[in-house]
Amino acid sequence: MSILEITSRLPRPLRFLGNQRFLITIGSLLGLFVLLNYVVLPLYVNHGSRATVPSVVGMSLEEAQKTLEQARLRLVHGESRPDPAFALGLVIQQNPAAKAEVKEGRRVYVITSGGDVQVPVPSLRGRSLRDARFSLERFGLKLGSVQYDTSDTFPENTIIYQSAAADTRIAKGTVVNIMVSKGRVLKEAQVPLVVGKTLGEAEGLLNAAGLRVGNITYQPSFDLVPNTVVDQYPRQGETALPGHAVDLFVIKAEKPLEEFEVPPK
């Protein structure tokens, strides 16, 4: 059955539906609607609503937010990660990447630097220099300058001071300076006068002053009493560290020439 036969059977008010010109008009209107709704209108709506993502890496959060707002985009702070290449708080990564074409109002997610990796500082006081070096290296720290000073509290060759306090956290790779004990403070003693004393008396006086007898040089003499100290070094009144040796010059007994026996001829 043809379209004309079908339309001829329709009620008179509806017979225009079978008119070919009418159908062409309706089809054209439908095609125009589809073209406008799915092609022209989206192009018109999206025209001018695209934005180019600027680079915000290396900026502070405040600077990055202002930059993205000027590009009609929104900043979202994701997280912070340790990064020695960027100072604390600076943006180290962004998504979408710079120069990407996105819709206006798009969220741009950023990650900021948490600064250098932080490590705990070990306690070094009372430990040897060798132990301190190994301990610092184990925590990723470096031994810096080593200075020496006397101490009444810490034994010799043990650490009495460290530049970074123990149990704090500092950046990995930081240099830690230390000070090592040279032992107790030694007060200098005043050298007593032992010239004119016997060797035994001189030794007693030196020991009482915290000193000791050093080299003994014997000198012959016919006039002075044997074992008498005739000179000393250091001299009386000079100062020396405890345990320092005082060299003495002592008379050695010799017989006068007239007392020597002449063998018979």
Give the pLDDT confidence score for residue 14 in this predicted structure: 46
Let me know if residue 197 belongs to a domain: yes
The Cα 29–Cα 137 span in angstroms is 81
Q: Which residues are 252's β-sheet partners?
A: 220
Let me know if residue 68 belongs to a domain: yes
Give the pLDDT confidence score for residue 158 in this predicted structure: 96
Instruction: Tell me, yes or no, whether 193 and 255 share the same domain.
Output: yes
The Cα 142–Cα 93 span in angstroms is 30
pTM of the model: 0.44
Which residues, given as ranges, of the chain have pLDDT below 70? Answer: 1-23, 26, 33-34, 36-48, 254-265
pLDDT tens track for 141-165: 999 999 999 898 899 999 999 999 9
- Angle at Cα 19 formed by Cα 14 and Cα 22, nearest 5°? 95
Let me know if residue 99 belongs to a domain: yes
φ, ψ (nearest 5 deg) of residue 77: -85, 115
- Which domain range does residue 43 map to? 18-47
Domain count for the chain: 4
- Torsion sign over Cα 211, 217, 220, 221: negative
Let me know if residue 265 belongs to a domain: no
Give the pLDDT confidence score for residue 162 in this predicted structure: 96
Let me know if residue 26 belongs to a domain: yes
At 73, is the secondary structure helix, strand, or coil?
coil
Let me know if residue 31 belongs to a domain: yes
Let me know if residue 122 belongs to a domain: yes
Structural tokens at position 105: 């109002």
Give the pLDDT confidence score for residue 32 in this predicted structure: 74
Let me know if residue 172 belongs to a domain: yes
Give the pLDDT confidence score for residue 30 in this predicted structure: 77
At 54, is the secondary structure helix, strand, or coil?
coil
Here the CATH number for the domain that contains residue 67 is 3.30.10.20
